[in-house]
Structure 1
Amino acid sequence: MTAGWDIKTRLLHWAIALTACFQQFSSLWMSDPGSQYLFPWHRLLGALTALIVLLFWLYSYAVYDLQRLFPWGRAGRLLVLREGFGLLRGRLQASGPRRGLSSFVHGLGLLALSGCAVTGMIMFAMIPPGHVGPPADGMAFTRYTLQHKFFGQLLWLYWYGHVAVAVVHQLKGNNVLGAIFGLRRVQSAASSDQAESNSG
């Protein structure tokens, strides 16, 4: 059975999915000289994406979700390793708001997206208003550009894996897409963790 996420998490996921996907694909199209008109949109949506990422961090902290995204305790690390080896043997773990490999991978994706957001906002601040002239510190701007692209590549890897595993879950009858993108009321994440603890 697929557990669902609370409505605030789902709305934030919607917002991140839409804005981050636009950023990723527009970055590909902007390499074409005829598509430079996308650059102002990339900057504007990048600032919005950075704000949404910040809201996601704050909300995750407020609802104690960081311990699921980043299982830094010994028990959490062992669980991630156990589920990782299980996945290599073809065992697909349950989805939903729970500690384990899937939440940890979500945390890694959030870190990659945060890296894109931070470096992007630094570059945003370095570009003169109206794009009049180059940035004052060209070498620093180039360095942040390379870092921005590095985090973007990590985000592509996460995106491919995330979508692939979601499709596999869906094909196996686990309605993960409905659980995260649907707007119906579901059991809260905290209740899900409590139920998991009680059953363990």
Structure 2
Amino acid sequence: MIRKGWDIKLRLLHWAIALTATFQQLSSMYMSNPGTQFLFPYHRIVGAVAAIVLLLFWLYSYAIYDLKMLFPWGRDARREVLRESFALFRGRLPRTGRGIGLSGFVHGLGLLALSGCACTGMIMFAMIPPGHVGPPSDPMAFTRYTLQHKFFGEMLWIYWCGHTVFALVHQLTGGHVLGSIFGLGRKRN
């Protein structure tokens, strides 16, 4: 399928998602310890920023017709995802860049996991007023959202690790993916 370059808006949105989601994932590892509860307000604020950036990403993806790349529903697109999946098992990496295929589909799954975190996080954000130290008014509902938030967070960890590993493998095999998405270094033709 057609592979296109990354425009500056997508690069900026990717930077913002990468930074906020990474902070969220790393800070969540330490928030359960009593001595690290100071991270919770930062986690809430950065989470709200991440949710806004994610909403902007969804809107921009919709505006530039990228949703078909992230969610390949058509028959030809599904075949491309399967073809690239089987090629991966034979040791061939999918092509780099934006386009319909395995890479775009996996990005779509990652965005769904991040969206689940953002939605449940924003609901919990609304359930606990700023500066409030007691339990929320509906502790059972809060517990349900917390468990859902944790589930999506675990899915996001799987995506985050896999995404990072495959980006590094592509980079090490000459794919120049880090430079193309993050705008680092020279562009290759």
Indicate whether the TM-score tops 0.5.
yes
Unaligned runs of 5+ in 1: 187-200
TM-score (norm 2): 0.94
Q: Which has the higher contact order (CA 8 A, sep 6+)?
A: 1
Taking the aligned partners of 2:85 and 2:64, their CA distance within structure 1 comes to 26
* 1:118-133 map, 5 Å: 118-133=119-134
The AA in structure 1 aligned to 2:176 is N
In percent, how many aligned pairs have the same letter? 72
Instruction: State the Cα distance separating 1:92 from its structure 2 match.
Output: 0.7
**1:107: which partner in 2?**
108
1:28 corresponds in structure 2 to 29
Query: Are the aligned partners of 1:7 and 1:183 in contact in 2 as well (CA < 8 Å)?
Result: no
Structure having the larger proportion of residues in helix: 1
- The separation in 2 between residues aligned to 1:24 and 1:132, in whole angstroms, is 23
What stretches of structure 2 of length at least 5 have no aligned partner?
Answer: none
Cα deviation for residue 20 of structure 1 reads 0.5
Residue in 1 that maps onto 2:178: 177
- Measured in 1, the distance between the counterparts of 2:119 and 2:42 equals 17
Equivalent-residue separation in structure 1 for 2:95 and 2:177 (angstroms): 10
Structure 2: how far apart are the matches of 1:73 and 1:38? 44
The SS at the match of 1:98 is coil
1:31-180 matched pairs, under 5 angstroms? 31-180=32-181
CA distance in 2, matches of 1:61, 1:121: 22
TM-score by length of 1: 0.89
Q: For the Cα contact (< 8 Å) 2:61–2:67, is it kept in 1?
A: yes
Deviation, 1:183, is: 6.2
Following superposition, the deviation at residue 104 of structure 1 comes to 0.3
Quote how far apart the aligned CAs of 1:128 are.
Answer: 3.0
